[in-house]
Amino acid sequence: MALAVEHLTRNYAGSGGSSFTAVDDFSFEAGAGEIIGLIGPNGAGKTTTLRTLAGILRPSSGRVAIDGHDIVADSIAAKRRLAFMPDEPHLFEYLTVEEHLRLVARLYTVEDFDRRARLLIEELELVGKERSLPGELSRGMRQKVAICCAYLYEPKAILFDEPLTGLDPRGIRTMKDSVRGRAAAGAAVIVSSHLLSLIEDLCTHLLILHRGRRLFAGPIAEARGAVAELSADASLEDVFFKLTEGEAAGH
């Protein structure tokens, strides 16, 4: 399994010895070729989940495994098989686009660098920008550079946090095509976004969170069945509001 999450919990310490549970004891799996849409209201625990899956935050309890490697106990092997794209790309100010790719290639011992880099630069529409510094690039182009770096070493699991921020319509189409291409090549992809239209168009599976708890995990086609009163042709928006508003009403 490309990504396996077992009873994941993440707490934050509060004032006076109190604690806050941002992610509350949930499990799911992401297999090769699956594109999982991670959705939920503000404060649902989506970013904490992504940062914990990526090994940036340590689980308070539970286990995360990337391609069979524990993100805590075997972190180097796990992270070599993982890519995480935050909503704001972080690039080195004095490295060009090509230098970013060469650095990643050295860190991950990428073979056949020239061919891979050329194909990615063409795919992400960065031709002619190879010698540009980040300060010379638009927000959307910097996002594409970060994605090129992530794709270069062919990770088994790819995590995106709001991947369309800063992209124009052509860039959005390119991004969607690239995600589908990685899934088709065998990667498991998680896309966190507030754009339900993107999730419905792009993803094969859903993970819906609310107040840190899992409300639904499974194929999008089965999500409508999770709400008895919805028809077979209900939109993802209908499913989302029925589940999250029903959950909110129960608190």
On the 0-12 / 13-18 / 19+ scale of CB atoms within 10 A, 201 is: exposed
User: Over the chain, what is the mean pLDDT?
Assistant: 92
Q: Which of 77-86, 112-121, 184-193, 229-238 has the lowest mean pLDDT?
A: 229-238
Task: Please check whether residue 126 is in contact with residue 145, taking contact to mean a CB–CB distance below 8 angstroms.
Answer: yes
Domain CATH for 55? 3.40.50.300
CA distance 148 to 150: 5
Q: Does 130 fall in a domain? A: no
Q: Does 194 fall in a domain? A: yes
Tally of structural domains, the chain: 1
3-state secondary structure of 241: helix
Amino acid at site 233? D
Q: Does 70 fall in a domain? A: yes
Does position 114 have pLDDT exceeding 60, yes or no? Answer: yes
Q: Does 55 fall in a domain? A: yes
86-105 average pLDDT score: 94
Domain housing 62: 1-81+157-166+190-251
> Angle at Cα 8 formed by Cα 189 and Cα 90, nearest 5°?
50
Helices (H) and strands (E) in the chain, counts: 9, 10
Question: In this predicted model, which residue has the larger pLDDT, 115 or 166?
Answer: 115
Q: Does 56 fall in a domain? A: yes
How many alpha carbons fall within 13 Å on the CB side of residue 121? 20
Of 196, 194, 207, whose CA–CA distance to 235 is shortest? 196
Q: Which of 6-20, 34-48, 53-67 has the lowest mean pLDDT?
A: 6-20
Q: Does 221 fall in a domain? A: yes
Q: Does 93 fall in a domain? A: no
Q: Does 206 fall in a domain? A: yes
CA distance 143 to 136: 13
CA distance 176 to 10: 30
- 117-174 residue pLDDT tens: 999 999 999 999 999 999 999 999 999 999 999 999 999 999 999 998 888 899 999 9
Which pLDDT band, with edges at 50, 70 and 90, does 251 fall under? Answer: very low
212-236 average pLDDT score: 82
